[in-house]
Chains A and B, each alone.
Chain A
Amino acid sequence: MSVLKQLDARNLLCPLPVIRTQNMVKSLHPGDTLEVVGTDPGILNDIPAWCRISGHEVLEQHSGDNEYVISLKVGDRLRGTS
């Protein structure tokens, strides 16, 4: 069964949200979903870029009140997450 996890990356400046995402994805399985919430708008560029090179899929991203949310689905290539 796929798992839905959340990561609170608020008040962290990039690249820390990417590092936390990368490290959390290591403990997940292909098909699992991770939702990252952050306050650095940079995550809207960096997490999708990291997903592209690592073989994960961005499902959704949106901006709220000074907060940004990205949902990603863990891919099975697991590139760059070893």
Chain B
Amino acid sequence: MKARLAMKRPIKAIALISGGLDSLLAAKVIQEQGVVVEGINFFTGFCVEGHTHAIRKKDKDKLKRNNALWVAEQLDMPLHIVDIIEEYKDVVINPQHGYGANMNPCLDCKIFMVSKAMQWIADSDYEYDFIITGEVIGQRPMSQRKETMPVIAEQSGANDRLLRPLCAKNLPPTLPEREGWVDREKLFDFSGRNRKPQMALAEHYGFTDYAQPAGGCCFLTDKNYSSKLADLWQARGERAYELDDIMLLKVGRHIRPKSHYKMIVAREEGETRFLQGYKKQFPHLQPISHNGPLTLLDGMPTAADLELAAQITARYSQGRDAESVTVEIMFEGETSTLQVSPLAAHEISPDWMI
């Protein structure tokens, strides 16, 4: 790159950091070769964050940390966290290469993220020479296959500036290898779903406390989350979302007693606290005669829907076995109370549960 030649600056790479083990190792392998590495992490709105889980009390003891930041600290490198919420919508709504097992558009997502990293390089006036990802051939059925590797490189515009240190030896040499910026011999030939080589390499570098998410890097690989997103689109009659919508899909019980509205019922104190932040935007209900969950109503509920909504809310309160529960309702700017009998468990149709 011109800028580097003129200034004789060190070789620099930008590493896509998800917070998982593979991207940690990929960046470390390249750092070990004397290349200056900086991390880039994209926030799509769907990312699985320890804190989102921590909203729920039962997960309170889990480590509350951002794994991408943790990785950057381990590697003593800067991390650029980039908000791509708006642009990412098109990836989720219209994936050219389709979805994986759930609503995860992994191949389009990878292409998009690498292209954003390329854009980052261009915006920095080519301060970086190449891009690193932690991809491993055969690791994921949709996006990490031998055939998809060149697709990502080409469609992102990164071409041979995209280096996958963990499986580079299974792929044709890239620019950094051909130019001698990195030594191909010291790269790896991992393939398949076996995690043992990564674990051995982690041990070699002394990384022990790394994150091992069970699913992918985001909620879109989650079956329940995906059905809530599909329900949202169906109910609204269009494939569109705002950040608040997708955040709320992570929280509470989602119940749709009628097609024109759904209820978001807090499952515990932490969720109630989180939903408090949305009280101004949504009609909401809360039992006041008994301890019970804050419930938001999303959609187009009418005054006629409030009684059923109050009965369902009462069902999830400590007054579920009481004859009547008083529920406070905030609807169309007015606060009122309703005395209702809680619905019995069998009266809540399984079809309502999203």
Which residues of A are interface residues toward B (Cβ below 8 A)? 10-11, 13-16, 18-19, 22, 39-42, 45-46, 49-50, 52-54, 66, 79-82
Contact B51 A42 (CB under 8 A): yes
Q: How far is the CB of B12 from chain A (nearest CB, A)?
A: 11
Contact B64 A45 (CB under 8 A): yes
Q: How far is the CB of A25 from chain B (nearest CB, A)?
A: 12
Contact with A along B68-100 (1 / 0, CB 8 A): 111011001111111100000000000000000
* A56, B247: Cα distance in complex, Å: 30
Chain B residues 29-57 with CB under 8 Å of chain A are 38, 41, 43, 47, 49-52, 54-55
Q: A15-B43, A42-B66, A80-B78 are in contact. List 14 more A-B contacts (CB 8 A).
A: A10-B277, A13-B49, A13-B52, A15-B47, A15-B68, A15-B81, A18-B66, A41-B51, A45-B64, A46-B69, A53-B72, A80-B38, A80-B72, A81-B78
The residues of B that contact A13 with a CB separation of less than 8 Å are 49, 51-52, 55, 247
Tell whether B273 is near chain A: CB-to-CB under 8 Å. Answer: yes
B interface SS class: mixed
The residues of B that contact A14 with a CB separation of less than 8 Å are 49, 51, 66
Contact B43 A42 (CB under 8 A): no
Q: How far is the CB of A21 from chain B (nearest CB, A)?
A: 10
* A31, B294: Cα distance in complex, Å: 43
Contact with A along B256-290 (1 / 0, CB 8 A): 00000000000000000100010000000000000
Tell whether B65 is near chain A: CB-to-CB under 8 Å. Answer: yes
Chain B residues 114-166 with CB under 8 Å of chain A are 124, 127
* A73, B79: Cα distance in complex, Å: 18
Query: A19-B81, A42-B51, A42-B64 are known contacts. Are A11 and B76 too (CB-CB below 8 A)?
Result: no
Q: How far is the CB of A79 from chain B (nearest CB, A)?
A: 4
Choose among A10, A41, A42 the residue that contacts B49 (Cβ–Cβ < 8 A).
A42
Query: A46-B66, A49-B69 are known contacts. Are A39 and B277 too (CB-CB below 8 A)?
Result: yes
Contact B73 A53 (CB under 8 A): yes
Chain B residues 155-179 with CB under 8 Å of chain A are none
The residues of B that contact A81 with a CB separation of less than 8 Å are 78
Query: A41-B54, A49-B69, A53-B69 are known contacts. Are A16 and B43 too (CB-CB below 8 A)?
Result: yes
Contact B65 A16 (CB under 8 A): no
**21 A-B contacts (beta carbon < 8 Å):** A11-B277, A14-B49, A15-B41, A15-B43, A15-B47, A16-B43, A18-B69, A18-B81, A19-B43, A22-B81, A41-B51, A42-B51, A45-B65, A49-B69, A49-B70, A53-B69, A53-B77, A53-B78, A66-B273, A80-B72, A80-B78
Choose among A11, A16, A80 the residue that contacts B79 (Cβ–Cβ < 8 A).
A80
Contact B50 A42 (CB under 8 A): yes
Q: How far is the CB of A82 from chain B (nearest CB, A)?
A: 7
Q: How far is the CB of A32 from chain B (nearest CB, A)?
A: 19
The residues of A that contact B247 with a CB separation of less than 8 Å are 13
* A65, B161: Cα distance in complex, Å: 49
